[in-house]
Amino acid sequence: MSILNPVVVITAGERGVKTTFGKADDAVYDPGIHFKVPLAQSMHLMDVRIQKGEGEGDAASRDLQSVHTRIAINYHLDPHRVVDVFRTIGPSTDIAADRIIIPAAQEAVKAVTARFTAEELVTRRTEVRDAIGDLLKQKMARHGLVLDEFAIVNFAFSRSFAEAIEAKVKAEQEKLKAERDLQRIEVEAKQKVASARAEADALALQRQQVTRELLELRKVENEREAIRKWDGKLPNVTGGTVPFIQVKPD
């Protein structure tokens, strides 16, 4: 029978608390092989591995909104305090979440939630989580427990408040959309003005080009018309003093 076996093996992830006629020794026994006096002594194994706990509860925000909070934590038993835990709580199997963890978590949640408004609980979620975690860590340390991780799974508010938040968010989204639309309209208007100016400048340049070409064309046409109307006779007198002599054909 194991009660008569003087050898005890403590595995990794465990610590041992030896009792002599029911009284716990002060020493903490690490993993390995240890000896005890059969019938007079017993070795109680305490689990120091990471455990998981979950819970939920109701609280009130600073603006008196009802808040339902769901949390999740990872924790473990402090290996150096297994004797104290054994004396005050009992074997590690007695460290149930509903006895130690959840009540401490609910108390921490209520204390911190009362510092923030319902809206701040959402917008400052990280700050709220850290504040709850710090307070919970202090409460758990009193019982020889170490908080490894803490997370707020969800904040749930009353239906009326949730609808008010949803309406506010929708109004802000519509405002942002209206501002973006106004900016888009202004940009499009500026683009149209710039495009109209560019078209006007191009049209003016085109008109100048057409006017120059038209003047050149008219000059050529006038020259052609003058040649067409010329009778083949040279003028008798020019602007100089030397007269032209007209030679009659034979």
Are both 100 and 25 inside the same structural domain? no
Are both 111 and 152 inside the same structural domain? yes
Are both 57 and 152 inside the same structural domain? yes
- 84-106 pLDDT, tens per residue? 999 988 887 666 666 788 888 88
Are both 66 and 146 inside the same structural domain? yes
pTM: 0.61
Which are the contacts of 43, defined by CB distance < 8 A and separation ≥ 6?
8, 10, 16, 17, 18, 29, 34, 36
- Distance, C-alpha 108 to centroid of its chain: 26
Residue segments in the chain with a per-residue pLDDT below the cut of 70? 1-3, 93-98, 210, 213-214, 220, 226-227, 229-250
Q: What is the pLDDT, as a whole number, of residue 60?
A: 87
User: Could you list the residue range(s) of the whole structural domain that residue 178 is in?
Assistant: 170-223
Is 59 inside any structural domain? yes
Are both 35 and 59 inside the same structural domain? no
Are both 127 and 84 inside the same structural domain? yes
Are both 74 and 148 inside the same structural domain? yes
Is 240 inside any structural domain? no
How far is residue 85 from each of residues 91, 218, 230, measured CA to CA in Å? 8, 114, 132
Q: What is the pLDDT, as a whole number, of residue 71?
A: 87
- 170-200 pLDDT, tens per residue? 788 888 888 888 888 888 888 888 888 888 7
* Domain closes at, from 133, 157, 181: 157
Is 35 inside any structural domain? yes
Are both 183 and 114 inside the same structural domain? no
* Domain closes at, from 129, 157, 185: 157
Is 153 inside any structural domain? yes
Is 77 inside any structural domain? yes
Are both 79 and 55 inside the same structural domain? yes
Q: What is the pLDDT, as a whole number, of residue 167?
A: 79
d(CA 60, CA 115): 10
d(CA 34, CA 53): 32
* Domain closes at, from 157, 188, 208: 157
- 90 and 143 Cβ atoms separated by less than 8 Å: no
Is 234 inside any structural domain? no
Which of 95, 89, 81, 109 lies closest to 52 in space, CA to CA? Answer: 95
Is 22 inside any structural domain? yes
| CATH label of the domain that carries residue 139 | 3.30.479.30
Q: What is the pLDDT, as a whole number, of residue 195?
A: 82
Are both 43 and 27 inside the same structural domain? yes
Are both 15 and 106 inside the same structural domain? no
- How many domains are contained in the chain? 3
C-alpha torsion 183→187→189→191, nearest 10: -170
Are both 129 and 71 inside the same structural domain? yes
d(CA 7, CA 67): 53
Q: What is the pLDDT, as a whole number, of residue 99?
A: 77
Is 205 inside any structural domain? yes
Q: What is the pLDDT, as a whole number, of residue 200?
A: 78
